[in-house]
Amino acid sequence: MRFFSDNAAAACPAAMRALEEANRLATAYDGDEWSARLDEAFSSLFETEVTALWVSTGTAANCLALAAICPPTGAVVCHRDAHIENDEAGAPGFFTHGAKLMLVDGAGAKVTPSALGAACDRIRPDVHQVPPAALSITNATEYGLSYRAAEVAALGAEGKRRGLRVHMDGARFGNAIAFTGERVADVTWRAGVDALSFGFVKNGAMNAEALILFDPALGDTVRRQRKRAGHLLSKGRYLAAQLLAMLENDVWLDNARAANAAAAALAEAAGHERLVYPVEANELFVRMTADEAASIREQGFDFYDWAPGEVRLVTSWDQDMAAVDRLAAAIRSL
Amino acid sequence: MRFFSDNAAAACPAAMRALEEANRLATAYDGDEWSARLDEAFSSLFETEVTALWVSTGTAANCLALAAICPPTGAVVCHRDAHIENDEAGAPGFFTHGAKLMLVDGAGAKVTPSALGAACDRIRPDVHQVPPAALSITNATEYGLSYRAAEVAALGAEGKRRGLRVHMDGARFGNAIAFTGERVADVTWRAGVDALSFGFVKNGAMNAEALILFDPALGDTVRRQRKRAGHLLSKGRYLAAQLLAMLENDVWLDNARAANAAAAALAEAAGHERLVYPVEANELFVRMTADEAASIREQGFDFYDWAPGEVRLVTSWDQDMAAVDRLAAAIRSL
Amino acid sequence: MRFFSDNAAAACPAAMRALEEANRLATAYDGDEWSARLDEAFSSLFETEVTALWVSTGTAANCLALAAICPPTGAVVCHRDAHIENDEAGAPGFFTHGAKLMLVDGAGAKVTPSALGAACDRIRPDVHQVPPAALSITNATEYGLSYRAAEVAALGAEGKRRGLRVHMDGARFGNAIAFTGERVADVTWRAGVDALSFGFVKNGAMNAEALILFDPALGDTVRRQRKRAGHLLSKGRYLAAQLLAMLENDVWLDNARAANAAAAALAEAAGHERLVYPVEANELFVRMTADEAASIREQGFDFYDWAPGEVRLVTSWDQDMAAVDRLAAAIRSL
Amino acid sequence: MRFFSDNAAAACPAAMRALEEANRLATAYDGDEWSARLDEAFSSLFETEVTALWVSTGTAANCLALAAICPPTGAVVCHRDAHIENDEAGAPGFFTHGAKLMLVDGAGAKVTPSALGAACDRIRPDVHQVPPAALSITNATEYGLSYRAAEVAALGAEGKRRGLRVHMDGARFGNAIAFTGERVADVTWRAGVDALSFGFVKNGAMNAEALILFDPALGDTVRRQRKRAGHLLSKGRYLAAQLLAMLENDVWLDNARAANAAAAALAEAAGHERLVYPVEANELFVRMTADEAASIREQGFDFYDWAPGEVRLVTSWDQDMAAVDRLAAAIRSL
């Protein structure tokens, strides 16, 4: 039973139906009627006018956004454990043409305004050092913590004070929103976010992520760079269709809630002592000896070792709740 | 009735069935069993050991290949009308970190050994000029001509003599093979091609293209750069599945033949006088006055004006032959 | 006797004295009093407020300018024979992070408004093509022609109409001004030029060129990128000193006049029939059979063969007029 | 009296004489007889065949070297306080086309084999992370410590074991050698170093640094990239002349010894308690209260505050020993 990655989950029924439907539409690139509807659909969700672009991967969404808000001569402040630093093969350096990542620490992979301020204060204003130009935060974080709108707003204010643009890597944005119950507008543009990588793939899409630009002035550059990076699919209508289908009837939110519920059930089973971080999305980091992990694996559960004495469990939108119950029981009986 | 682009065609039944099947497989990135089978499947088709990688677009396939065979300090020789020069938004410059395209002329967008040689001869060997490092040809060409194996071999030999690696942009490779009936091995690696962008999307896939590396030494760099360019889909199994399904039973070849047959029917209707180029794939460039084009459009046919007095017709794997017959009749009655 | 390149000329007395003087100043990078005086000195010459930066090479001046006015997703329109296209080893692609050069034709390596317009008109406004963002012209041109202010103004107007920024490669700017006698302001910013590479090395400096920015908003980026490209010399005071010394008492203009006078004398000797282009600076392109060229060389004169039946002669600020007279006589007696 | 930077020192007599001499040589770029002699002169010093190239800045030398030994998809391991990380405006990212710097800690800005190994061990071999491809160390370090040959050899062996190429930033290489008295061959290529930035500017040159390549295979790429980065001076003979003049009679070593001697005198005056690091080159980091620093400054001495309670003193080849004695006395009397 699969608890190693939400990337391994199936595409959800709404997404698959959308593909069938898109197969009856004949047009190319992003000139189709569905791509054209993305701006409107996401603007409605975000309660403001946004530019919404489909891309195939979270790395592309993140790095197109970073390239739009950070010049090659600048730096992006991010957490030391951020996905853009650790898991994107140097893509930020590629897309930004060599801009730097400026790493900060913070509990649970969260960036705080004081950490942001301290990082910026270390940089002399002369031309010998690389000035911070942007901030990138991940929500939910790499350790499954969800930012509250007030936290993002504090970061946004500190960033603005220092002239930084703000990007949010929302590979698990749906899970964060499903957990906090806050409005998507409050945790993004109202809090100072300029661009959001709104993840759908981990949440049940097949190959469609959304890049949301709250500053329409960024649109032209990003559209051109999307093509220049080979990310303008000639049959992009299939991506647009998935996104629209998952926005309709809040499928994205229901999917995220299902994954979170599975995680919450496992968290309860694990108990406070075993959890490295509070569980605020669909990831659990659980203290477990190698023997304990082995015994769980013997019962048919798949998951990653994260660190000595620590494993990572990830739940998905399509998690079989019977399997969750069995895993919960297995953990309880350790 | 659609004759404006094969990008606007539907995904073919084999591809769609493959997606359904892939939806029952649980794994991430390219660690799935289908991605693992790609090398073998394409090696069998090409009669030699190849590295085969899925990507989402032809631009990505082309530019990952170019970056692997041309250093930033070098140049890629290509035809003035090549897709990489005119229709990829500068992607070659992005992926190669600023290498140059060195443009040559040639009838029907074909490069000849003499044009290649002349272009290379113009470059002084000093450090002030950019030395050619690679050749990129398109097959079928941008004007629908198909290279014979002997032509490619002559280019390959001339390239080798000058130290160039060779890339083939095969966005319509299937159509070229369907036309010439030659073995894929003969027109590629046996003729000196190092990397092939083997197009599936225009030929009935939804979002999967294949990048074929005949030199396995290129594999590691291309795999890393694919991820670094945001082109490693976390649910890559859906791409692998499409490619495998279209290789099986030669679906790719049947699709290409169907498109070519439609083009051939139209070519016959148009007649030698009207055709700007021989029709050797699924594209027709037809001489037509503006009034003639308008009268055809009034009968419900969609296509692009290409140049003054010239229109482009593109046929697809799923072309309705009744519509083809009606268009053929309309052209005949001009 | 040397007629092959003004790069081979000595540093002029004013420049050498400036080095001695700078050797008594103790400070680092561009924080010295001389670097600080550059803006003022060049602003006075150009009759407007400019930002003036020293760099060590014309390639650096050109490409820092291009990177400041053309985004990676854009193109620079320039003549097919421009130095940036042919003699800078792809530096524009490096500094601009992969922007394209869009080549146009024109007699004597001059760009005309109609050639500029036609090049721009060929580009579709969609995201598949690379939009022109800048124009770069060389003055004096690669064939020794000097732009009049009115010509530049016509290009500037055409450029502005199309949203292009304008760069002038003035490796031989002094020679052009010495020939036309026009005001430097009229042929640059008043004509729409945003950035000028003002050459001093070919005109008698040792290693100092000036990059003049007429739009102060470009200054911050260029200063940072100059450092990022390794072009901020820690002992930059020696460069500033040369520039200031050559501005004082119009040494730069006297040097250019001396080189032009030598070229004019040779031009007269060659006569209209032999000259490929009118001689409007310090370069001559002279029709000459291989035998004729050989006979001249036998008399001790060094120069480049440029094309079959054509040689290039370049004169310098320090040209020995006796040698010029002898070469003139030798040409006359062909 | 100047103790703030060796960049502020004058050019030494040998260098200045060389410029006068070069002014009598007529040739361009690196085709002059002096540039041609560099390989031989440095090969003799290093007791092996090397490729030696002049450049104008240490940043250019460092980053040309890094670009030659680290692909865009790789990482350069270096100390957290390295000049390439902190003081080159992101130049490594520019020259390497976006490769990463992977930072390690270490006393006195030294990298140790165990720190190097640990950094490498943290990287998973999959394509999601950036693999280390090179190591860069600074000698003397940013805190004035000099590597012994045995230390470099241990690093070189650890690097080789892991497939890394090795670069040494020797902005103060002369000072390091003057301190340790070891052979330059032993601390470089015999210890596994592939490329050395051999600093001359801080040691008395005007604008010439040497980039030494111990692997001749790197030469072609570096020569091309030097031009592509705008670092091929047309009058490069003036740089070659300085380097040759400073190699002759070991001027470089005498200059470094003079600077070290001044630093040693100050170190003795400061005493063990005040010194943050042992003084092994020409830099001192001295514990001093703000009041103490102010009192020294009042006596006419210029230097940088480095950290709260810590100042940096840098001595130069041309340090006036009377001033050194007075500063030593001032420090003693604190």
pLDDT in tens, D105-163: 999 999 999 999 999 999 999 999 999 999 999 999 999 999 999 999 999 999 999 99
Amino acid at D30: D
Q: What is the pTM of this model?
A: 0.97
Residue B172 lies in a domain: yes
Residues in Cβ contact with D159 at an 8 Å cutoff, skipping those fewer than 6 apart: D116, D135, D165, D166, D192
* Range of the structural domain that residue D260 is part of: 251-332
> What number of CA atoms fall less than 13 Å from residue B144's CA on the CB side?
24
**Counting one residue from B and one from D, how many pairs have CB atoms under 8 Å apart?**
34
Distance from CA of A155 to the nearest CA of C (A): 26
Which residue of chain D has the CA closest to B131?
A: D224
pLDDT in tens, C123-152: 999 999 999 999 999 999 999 999 999 999
Query: Are B219 and B318 within one domain?
Result: no
Put simply, the answer to whether C10 touches D26 (Cβ < 8 Å) is yes
Residue B198 lies in a domain: yes
Boundary of a domain, candidates C216, C249, C282: C249
Residues of chain B with pLDDT under 70: none
pLDDT of residue C27: 73
Put simply, the answer to whether A23 touches B2 (Cβ < 8 Å) is no
Output phi, psi for C53, to 5 deg.
Answer: -125, 140
Residue D6 lies in a domain: no
Quote the mean pLDDT of chain A. Answer: 96
Token digits of residue B251: 């679906």
Strand order in the sheet with C100-104: C51-55, C209-213, C195-198, C165-170, C132-138, C75-79, C100-104
Q: Return d(Cα D16, Cα D245) in angstroms, integer.
A: 9
Residue A5 lies in a domain: no
Which residue of chain A has the CA closest to C127?
A: A224
Which residue of chain A has the CA closest to D88?
A: A128
Query: Are A256 and A242 within one domain?
Result: no
Which of the pair, B137 or C28, is modelled with greater confidence?
A: B137
pLDDT of residue D31: 77
pLDDT of residue C180: 98
Domain count within chain C: 2
C225 vs A contacts (CB less than 8 Å): 72-73
pLDDT of residue B114: 98
The answer, yes or no, to whether residue C69 has pLDDT greater than 90, is yes
Boundary of a domain, candidates C249, C270, C290: C249
The answer, yes or no, to whether residue D28 has pLDDT greater than 80, is no
Those chains having 3 or more beta-carbon pairs within 8 angstroms of chain B are: A, C, D
Residue D185 lies in a domain: yes
Query: Are C216 and C314 within one domain?
Result: no
Q: Return d(Cα B105, Cα A136) in angstroms, integer.
A: 47
Residue with tokens 């080893």: C89
List the single residue in D73, D127, D224 with the smallest CB-CB distance to B232: D127
Put simply, the answer to whether A230 touches B55 (Cβ < 8 Å) is yes
Q: Average pLDDT, stretch A86-114? A: 98
Query: Are C91 and C220 within one domain?
Result: yes
Q: Return d(Cα A135, Cα A133) in angstroms, integer.
A: 7
Which residue of chain C has the CA closest to D238?
A: C206
Amino acid at A89: A
Query: Are A133 and A194 within one domain?
Result: yes
Q: Return d(Cα D95, Cα D83) in angstroms, integer.
A: 15
Q: Is D228 exposed, middle or buried (0-12, 13-18, 19+ CB in 10 A)?
A: buried
Put simply, the answer to whether D224 touches B127 (Cβ < 8 Å) is yes
CB A283 within 8 A of CB A266: no
Put simply, the answer to whether A129 touches D89 (Cβ < 8 Å) is yes
Distance from CA of D168 to the nearest CA of B (A): 24
The answer, yes or no, to whether residue C26 has pLDDT greater than 80, is no
Query: Are A185 and A285 within one domain?
Result: no
D53 vs C contacts (CB less than 8 Å): none
List the single residue in A10, A90, A239 with the smallest CB-CB distance to B23: A10
Q: Return d(Cα C296, Cα C334) in angstroms, integer.
A: 9
Name the pLDDT band for A272 (thresholds 50, 70, 90).
very high
Q: Which of A182, A184, A319, A176 is nearest to A247 (CA)?
A: A184
CB D267 within 8 A of CB D298: no
Residue with tokens 């230390």: D151
Put simply, the answer to whether A127 touches C227 (Cβ < 8 Å) is yes
Residue C3 lies in a domain: no
Query: Are C146 and C120 within one domain?
Result: yes
pLDDT of residue C281: 98
pLDDT in tens, D258-317: 999 999 999 999 999 999 999 999 999 999 999 999 999 999 999 999 999 999 999 999
Per mean pLDDT, which range of A218-232, D26-40, D193-207, D224-238 is the poorest?
D26-40
pLDDT of residue B176: 98
Query: Are B48 and B176 within one domain?
Result: yes
Q: Would you say the C-alpha torsion A292, A293, A297, A302 has a positive or negative sign?
A: positive
List, as one string, the DSSP characters of C40-96.
HHHHHHHTS--EEEEES-HHHHHHHHHHHHS-TTSEEEEETT-HHHHSSTTHHHHHT
Distance from CA of D209 to the nearest CA of A (A): 19
Query: Are D138 and D271 within one domain?
Result: no
Residue D5 lies in a domain: no
Angle at B304 between CA B303 and CA B310, to 5 degrees: 110
Which residue of chain C has the CA closest to A224?
A: C127
Q: Average pLDDT, stretch C307-323? A: 95
Which DSSP letter does residue C146 get?
-
Residue B2 lies in a domain: no
pLDDT of residue A24: 85
Put simply, the answer to whether B73 touches C88 (Cβ < 8 Å) is no
Name the pLDDT band for A210 (thresholds 50, 70, 90).
very high
Query: Are B237 and B289 within one domain?
Result: no
- For residues A203-217, one letter each, b for 16 or more C-beta atoms within 10 angstroms of the residue's C-beta and e for the rest, the string is bbbbbbbbbbbbeee
- 3-state helix/strand/coil string of chain A: CECCCHHHCCCCHHHHHHHHHHCCCCCCCCCCHHHHHHHHHHHHHHCCCCEEEEECCHHHHHHHHHHHHCCCCCEEEEECCCHHHHCCCCHHHHHCCCCEEEEECCHHHCCCHHHHHHHHHCCCCCCCCCCEEEEEEECCCCCCCCCCHHHHHHHHHHHHHCCCEEEEEECCHHHHHHHHCCCCCCCCHHHCCCEEEECCCCCCCCCCEEEEECCHHHHHHHHHHHHHCCCCCCCCHHHHHHHHHHHHHHHHHHHHHHHHHHHHHHHHHHCCCCECCCCCCCEEEEECCHHHHHHHHHCCCECEEEECCEEEEECCCCCCHHHHHHHHHHHHCC
Residues in Cβ contact with A128 at an 8 Å cutoff, skipping those fewer than 6 apart: C227, D86, D87, D88, D89
Output phi, psi for A214, to 5 deg.
Answer: -85, -15
Name the pLDDT band for C24 (thresholds 50, 70, 90).
confident
Query: Are D54 and D65 within one domain?
Result: yes
Q: Average pLDDT, stretch C207-226? A: 96
Name the pLDDT band for A4 (thresholds 50, 70, 90).
confident
Contact residues of B toward C, CB < 8 A: 72-73, 75, 86-90, 93-94, 96-100, 127-130
Q: Average pLDDT, stretch A309-325? A: 95
**DSSP-derived pairing of the beta strands A132-138 and A165-170:** parallel
Token digits of residue D207: 């604008």
Contact residues of A toward D, CB < 8 A: 72-73, 75, 86-90, 93-94, 96-100, 127-130
- The CATH number given to whatever domain includes residue D124 is 3.40.640.10
Put simply, the answer to whether B90 touches C98 (Cβ < 8 Å) is yes
CB C180 within 8 A of CB C146: yes
Those chains having 3 or more beta-carbon pairs within 8 angstroms of chain C are: A, B, D
Q: Average pLDDT, stretch D231-252? A: 96
Q: Average pLDDT, stretch A253-257? A: 98
Interface ipTM > 0.90:
yes
For A233, other C-beta atoms within 10 Å of its C-beta total 29
Residues written for chain D: 334
pLDDT of residue D1: 80
**DSSP-derived pairing of the beta strands B132-138 and B165-170:** parallel
Query: Are C238 and C319 within one domain?
Result: no
pLDDT in tens, C233-261: 999 999 999 999 999 999 999 999 999 99
Boundary of a domain, candidates A223, A250, A277: A250
- The CATH number given to whatever domain includes residue C322 is 3.90.1150.10
D89 vs A contacts (CB less than 8 Å): 73, 127-130
Token digits of residue A154: 């504090």
CB B67 within 8 A of CB B231: no
Q: CA C47 → CA C44, C172, C184, C185, C214, distances in Å?
A: 5, 20, 9, 7, 11
Residue with tokens 């074909």: B110
pLDDT of residue C80: 97
Those chains having 3 or more beta-carbon pairs within 8 angstroms of chain D are: A, B, C
The answer, yes or no, to whether residue A28 has pLDDT greater than 90, is no
